[in-house]
Every structure is written in structure tokens, then in C-alpha cells.
Amino acid sequence: MQNNLNKKLGYLGTPWEEAYGYAQAVQVGNMLYVSGQLSHDSSGNLVGPAPLDAAGKVTDTSNMDVQMRTTYANAAKLLAQFGATLDQVVEEVVYVTDMDAAFAVAGTVRKVAYGTAKPACASSILETPRLAFREQLVEISFTVVLQE
């Protein structure tokens, strides 16, 4: 099938890009759609994984802060591939496995990530029982308007 949208794709080289089959970001015109980002290092290892019990349930959410900070840092690296920064984010959706743990750190983490006391983007936060990896506490997707 021919792609008439002239898409530009971005990747971070994580193992799940190939396994799941997707791009981390897709640019169409001056719009950039960023897949859910998470807390991983350059090798694809989860940073600050939450501890699990024998049944695979999270037992401690205190790593929400490190996971959220790393997720924003990874998003910034991905945006840089397109000559963009978090300043150009117009919308984010934050998915968390524990709303209380997220609210305890999200305000501070977001203000540092965006470099301002009032980040200039629309933001939604949703609680979900589980994300892609059991030890994962947060995932954030972004919509970005690129410079013309």
C-alpha cells in the first residue's frame, strides 16, 4: 500500500520497537505524534522498576518519581530527532498505575521537565491497572506542533 502522507518516523532503538512493530514518533506535516514513552535506558532496560510480589503485582510505587523523570528525559531525546523540545508539546496523556503516587510527584516532575511553573500544554492523567511491563508505573504520550 502506498503511503501518501509523507511520514517521517522516529525510533529510540528499543527491543520492543521491533517486537511490537511501531515507531516511537510519526511526523506528518508540522505535527508530531509521540507514542507512549516510558522509563528506560539506552539498552531498553527499565529504569527504576517497581518491585513485584510473587503474583507479579507491584508492591511499592515509590519509584514513580524516577520513572516519570526518566520518561520525560526520553521524550526530550526523541523530540530532538525532529528538532523539537518539550516547549512544543501541545498535549500529553499520562498513564499511571497508581494515581496517588503519581499526584505526589507529577507536579514537581512536570514543572522541571518543561522548565516552567505552568507547562503550556493540555494534560490528561489516567489510571490503568497495568502498563506494558509489570514493573512500569508510568507512560506518557505527546502531541507536538513543530516549527514551520
Residue 2: the pLDDT is 56
Find the DSSP H helices in 1-54: 15-16
Mean pLDDT for 20-39 is: 96
Q: Are the beta carbons of 56 and 65 closer than 8 angstroms? A: no
Mean pLDDT for 103-129 is: 97
Nearest to 78 by CA among 25, 131, 115: 25
Tell me the CB-side half-sphere exposure of residue 26, using CA atoms within 13 A. Answer: 10
Cell numbers 511491563 correspond to 133
Mean pLDDT for 52-70 is: 97
CATH of domain 8-145: 3.30.1330.40
pLDDT digits (tens, 9 = 90+) for 90-104: 999 999 999 999 999
Residue 66: the pLDDT is 98
Find the DSSP H helices in 40-126: 64-80, 99-114
Listed by start position, the domains of the chain span 8-145
Give CA–CA dist 26/11, Å, rounded: 9
Residue 142: the pLDDT is 98
Give CA–CA dist 118/107, Å, rounded: 9
Residue 5: the pLDDT is 86
